[in-house]
Amino acid sequence: MPEQDASNPKEFYPDVPQTDVTFPLKGSNSLDWGMKNRLSNIFDSSSGKTVMLAIDHGYFQGPTTGLERVDINIVPLLPFADTLMVTRGILRSLIPPTFTRGVVLRTSGGPSILKELSNEQIAVDIEDVIRLNASAMAVQVFIGGEHESQSVHNLTRLIDAGQKYGVPVLAVTAVGREMERNARYMRLACRICAELGATYVKTYYVAEGFETVTASCPVPIVIAGGKKLPELEALRMAWRATEEGALGVDMGRNIFQSESPQAMIQAVRQVVHKRERPEHAFDLYRTLTAEQQVSVG
């Protein structure tokens, strides 16, 4: 028999209205609880932003510079990443399962850099996404590319699978070499992904009119880092993008190809989460780099 529950007076606070929680992430309040919970593994609840570390490049270009040895060069960066964007192969073989922040799993693939990149298919089953406890699935979308419709179809099929099990989908707008990287193209690509149900969208920063890209996309946008830039320039790009409405970065080469990746990811965090000016964050980068050189030397 359960014990009688009568010794303490109960307090039902009948005069206090229930506190109902709204989910603050842009365009995400109508999502189901599981989706919101997974998104909370990606976007920091204090700043509302994310520093995703992208290391999935190998799925089409093999051992990319800086990613030759993930165990040596990437694992030490994990404490500074809100989320890791990764393939299931690298996740299973090299990422310690004690990493408990968000994992965004690369779920599309097919062609290598030797072939037409837009010819991708879905490359992971939703059951394996759940088995790996991933927080989201990432799929490449090639608007204007040779296999545009196929890549959009990959996106919508993953969205349907994600809806079934509460897994968000990150649509990655892939800009072909022949495409102009301007706000007009980015608006088109991001909006299409959002209209079709992407939970959030990754795109490239453009210097002119990026605020129109974020304003016309009803769900969060994060920016890719793109080709390696001098550190201060990369920090300026992260700062401008977040000033102009991006909710974070999904940065790869500008972190892991930096002279000092650990210093760089910490500097990026200062810009994204603390709104530190890029010049100040660059000072931090230099200080941390110098300290590291002293401790190694």
Q: Which residues of this chain interact with ligand 5RP, rule CB under 6 A?
A: 54, 56-57, 85, 140, 172, 224-226, 250-254
Residue 45 CB, nearest approach to ligand 5RP (Å): 24
Which residues touch 83 (CB under 8 Å, ≥6 apart)? 41, 42, 50, 51, 52, 53, 101, 102, 103, 104, 135
- Is the CB of residue 249 less than 8 Å from the CB of residue 225? yes
Which residues touch 130 (CB under 8 Å, ≥6 apart)? 165, 167
- Is the CB of residue 254 less than 8 Å from the CB of residue 54? no
Nearer to ligand 5RP, 123 or 166 (CB): 123
- Tokens representing 274? 């603390």
Note if 164 is an active site residue.
no
Give the active site residue among 36, 202, 227, 228. Answer: 202
Nearer to ligand 5RP, 20 or 258 (CB): 258
Which of 250, 249, 173, 243 has the alpha carbon at shortest distance from 215? Answer: 243
Residue 193 CB, nearest approach to ligand 5RP (Å): 13
Nearer to ligand 5RP, 148 or 166 (CB): 148
Residue 205 CB, nearest approach to ligand 5RP (Å): 11
H or E element: which one contains 195?
A: helix 183-195
Residue 32 CB, nearest approach to ligand 5RP (Å): 26
Nearer to ligand 5RP, 85 or 103 (CB): 85
Active-site residues: which are they?
Answer: 202
